[in-house]
Amino acid sequence: MPSICRRDFVASAFLMAAGLGSGNTFAGGFPSRPIRLIVPYGPGGGSDFVARLVAQKLTETAGWNVVVDNKAGASGLIGTEAAAKSAADGYTLFLADAAHATNAAVQPKLPFDPIKDFSPLTLMGSSPQLLVAHPSLPASSLRELTALARARVREYGVGTPGQGSVPHLLCETLKRKTGMELVHVPYKGGSAALTDAVGGQVAMVINSVPACMPHIEAKRLKVLAIASATRHPKLLDVQTFSESVPGMVGGAWYGVMAPAGVPADLLQQLNAAIDKVLDLPDVKARLESSFVDPMPRGPQAFSKYLNEEIARWRSVVKETGVTINS
């Protein structure tokens, strides 16, 4: 069961004991204890990578104790609900991703309001989704996959981080637009799906570039397509989804939220600290090397983007007829 890892807990305890951050706390003594950053997936995925990078740099630059708390399950709903119901005191933050919008589009009822129950702090970056496959798959591109005999394609499962995720919606759109009878295989996070793809338990996976790249570089998986509007400058040999299915675009994005009701002055201070981290040259380099592109920052830009994303994916759901049980 994903939880705060022992290493992070011990590190946090050590920092507190050492009194680090005593000269970097905000007015009023905030923070006086560790700040929890909830990630609604298990360790190892794109969201976890971004969260741990930011948490580490907040500890280094501000002297805070920021602990990543992985709460996986139910396509991110377990962690999201835990964040929504946390105390509005600034000591709980939430790593929101694209599923925050797609769950609102697919799920008929949510145990929280994705807009009203959260205070957006800032977007941190975005990355396109990839369709990757085990090397044994007899296709090296989406174009070649669609050319395979229909009876053969029925044998192939497509793993995603969970029902209601962007990869799930891309998978269902791909099925409906091409007529391929692919089998959707939802996991509790993208890391588990990729592990099974490497082991040959599932033929293909749709997941974000940061999560997929280590397996691609090690040749444990191969790339069939990228869900960006145009070919990515670092992956020019990889076709886009839209080259086979016009208009098919979908990406991962990452942002930080707090539970609704956190005092405005704390929100401003938290946002300023995260903004400072995102401006660090080494953080920019790490994100860029992981195919995470910059996005507009600040609460207003995040709020506007989230509302647009929810509307966009609701339109996709209406067009394709995707349901949570697809």
Alpha-carbon distance 122 to 301, whole Å?
8
* Complete DSSP assignment for 108-122: S--SS-TTTTEEEEE
User: Which residues, other chains included, contact 132 with Cβ-Cβ below 8 Å and sequence gap of 6+?
Assistant: 194, 197, 204, 205, 206, 207, 212, 215, 216, 221, 222, 223, 224
Q: How far apart are the first and last CA of the chain?
A: 26
**Extended strands (E) in the chain:** 35-39, 66-70, 92-97, 118-133, 157-160, 183-186, 204-208, 222-226, 251-259
Alpha-carbon distance 243 to 224, whole Å?
12
Alpha-carbon distance 129 to 97, whole Å?
13
3-state secondary structure of 107: coil
Using alpha carbons only, give the angle 278, 281, 285 rounded to the nearest 5 degrees.
Answer: 90
- What is residue 247's predicted lDDT score, i.e. its pLDDT? 87
Residue 40: is the preceding peptide bond cis (ω within 30°)? Answer: no
Q: What angle, 0 to 180 degrees and rounded to 10, lies between the N-to-C axes of helices 264-278 and 46-62?
A: 100
**Checking phi first, is residue 29 left (phi over 0); if not, alpha (psi -120 to 50) or beta?**
left
Count Cα atoms within 13 angstroms, Cβ side, for 37: 29
pLDDT by residue for the chain (326 residues), tens only, comes to: 444 444 444 444 433 443 333 334 444 688 999 999 999 988 888 899 999 999 999 999 999 999 999 999 888 899 999 999 999 999 999 999 999 999 999 987 899 999 999 999 999 999 999 999 999 999 999 999 999 988 788 889 999 988 888 999 999 999 988 999 999 999 988 889 999 999 999 999 999 898 899 999 999 999 999 999 999 988 999 999 999 999 899 998 999 999 999 999 999 999 999 999 999 999 999 999 888 999 999 999 999 999 999 999 998 888 877 776 66
- What is residue 262's predicted lDDT score, i.e. its pLDDT? 97
- What is residue 160's predicted lDDT score, i.e. its pLDDT? 94
161 near 193, Cβ under 8 Å?
A: yes
Pairing of strands 66-70, 183-186: unpaired
Residue 39 CA, distance from chain mean position? 9
- The one-letter amino acid code at 157 reads G
Which phi and psi angles does 149 have, rounded to 5°?
-60, 135
Question: What residues form DSSP beta bridges with 119?
Answer: 258
Structural domains of the chain in order of their starting residue, each with its CATH number: 6-127+252-318 (3.40.190.150), 128-250 (3.40.190.10)
Nearest by Cα to 99 from 22, 210, 9, 189: 189
76-80 long-range Cβ contacts below 8 angstroms, 24+ apart: 76/40, 76/41, 76/100, 76/103, 76/161, 76/162, 76/164, 76/165, 77/40, 77/103, 77/107, 77/110, 77/111, 78/40, 79/38, 79/39, 79/40, 79/41, 80/40, 80/112, 80/114
DSSP conformational letter for 15: H
80 near 47, Cβ under 8 Å?
A: no
218 near 170, Cβ under 8 Å?
A: no
